[in-house]
Amino acid sequence: MIDLRSDTVTKPTQAMRDAMAVAEVGDDVYGEDPTVIRLQELAAKMLGKEAGLFVVSGTMGNQVAIMTHTQRGDELITEAESHIFYYEVGDIAALSGVQARQVPGKRGIMDPDDVNHAIRDSSNIHFPRTSLIALENTHNRGGGKVWPIEYVREIAGIAHERGIAVHMDGARIFNASVASGIAPDVWASYADSVMFCLSKGLCAPVGSMLVGSRDFIDRARKNRKRLGGGLRQAGILAAAGIVALETMVDRLAEDHANAKLLADELARLGYGSDPAEAETNMAMVDVSVSGKDALSFVQLVKEKGVLCNAVTPTTVRLVTHHDVTTQQCREAVQAFKSLL
């Protein structure tokens, strides 16, 4: 099968398996796992922050960040189709007791003026306190869209002037960096905390990182424990994360080229796909031309050997990654062609 469902399906590389086998470990709840410590320091350094925290998933990283930045009854501003709102099982409300103020964006990008207008004046007795603004870079439901950095700068300026924190869901921050040429620490410099994933395009089997100031990470560590995320000999997992950060970032450009190829070829066939929008490792494809809705299309193309996900009634998402080759992308195009 050619698996284009997500970059989460990647398997750990041999170098990762080797590093995991010999990883030095200790009890990380006591802060004694040397490999976890090394990964956390590396992640913090690459993102230009004081400290880092290893968490089991992107969802846990985002939710620990939200719990750490907010108090119950607060309001969080987030884009209407953001992962933290759309795909995290209602955790903002369930775990932190915070409500989401959704600002509609264009492919996930919020207009700074809209964000500004959404901030509450908490001197009004009726209003909750806006304590956090979340940005997703790259934006998943936006088709891997990279934020315009000037928008990030502007929103961060507005937030910080009003004493509001900024969290970046940078699950795919390295895709944003490779596509834009803007270093991860520059993206991160506008945010108080950044979550990024080791287990997506970077191929580690498990894990994400949360980075921020020392004080923020100390408080986040306690919230991670509260959620049951205090791990013991996690160095086994962290070892793969170190290989991911040291060796798997630059190759993301190959995934981006493959996504562009898919978007290009499928547009040529008459599918609704814009190659200019395939900026990173995703292609969003409107399959209406096939006469099928997206869910039926996914079933039919599976019979042709291609896996992908329906993300709207008419659109499927194709995600490129380490474990699909350019040749396989060409084969996927042929499978799509056969369904016209």
Chain positions contacting ligand TLP, by CB under 6 A: 6, 8, 57-59, 62, 83, 87, 136, 140, 169, 171, 197, 208
- Of 59 and 68, which has the nearer Cβ to ligand TLP? 59
- Of 62 and 180, which has the nearer Cβ to ligand TLP? 62
- Of 208 and 223, which has the nearer Cβ to ligand TLP? 208
- Of 61 and 235, which has the nearer Cβ to ligand TLP? 61
- Cα–Cα dist 75/129, whole Å: 6
Q: What's the closest the beta carbon of residue 131 comes to ligand TLP, in angstroms?
A: 20
Do the beta carbons of residue 256 and residue 312 sit within 8 Å?
no
- Of 119 and 179, which has the nearer Cβ to ligand TLP? 179
- Cα–Cα dist 60/285, whole Å: 30
Q: What's the closest the beta carbon of residue 242 comes to ligand TLP, in angstroms?
A: 18
Read off the tokens for 148: 């315009």
Q: What's the closest the beta carbon of residue 83 comes to ligand TLP, in angstroms?
A: 4
- Of 49 and 83, which has the nearer Cβ to ligand TLP? 83
Read off the tokens for 120: 């509450």
Q: What's the closest the beta carbon of residue 192 comes to ligand TLP, in angstroms?
A: 17
- Of 62 and 290, which has the nearer Cβ to ligand TLP? 62
Residue nearest to ligand TLP (CB): 58
- Cα–Cα dist 7/254, whole Å: 13
DSSP state of 139: B
Do the beta carbons of residue 331 and residue 2 sit within 8 Å?
yes
Q: Which residues pair with 212 in a beta bridge?
A: 51, 193
- Of 6 and 13, which has the nearer Cβ to ligand TLP? 6
Distance of CA 57 to the CA centre of its chain: 10
The alpha carbons of the chain give a radius of gyration, in whole angstroms, of: 20
Q: What is the pairing mode between strands 282-286 and 208-212?
A: unpaired
The total of other beta-carbon atoms located within 10 Å of residue 124's CB is 8
Look-up: residue for tokens 């699909």? 324
Q: Which string of DSSP letters, residue by residue, matches 86-145?
A: HSSTTHHHHHH--EEEEE--BTTBPPHHHHHHHS--TTSTTSPPEEEEEEESSBTTTTSB
The total of other beta-carbon atoms located within 10 Å of residue 104's CB is 10
Angle between the N-to-C axes of helices 252-269 and 326-337, in degrees from 0 to 180, rounded to the nearest 10: 20
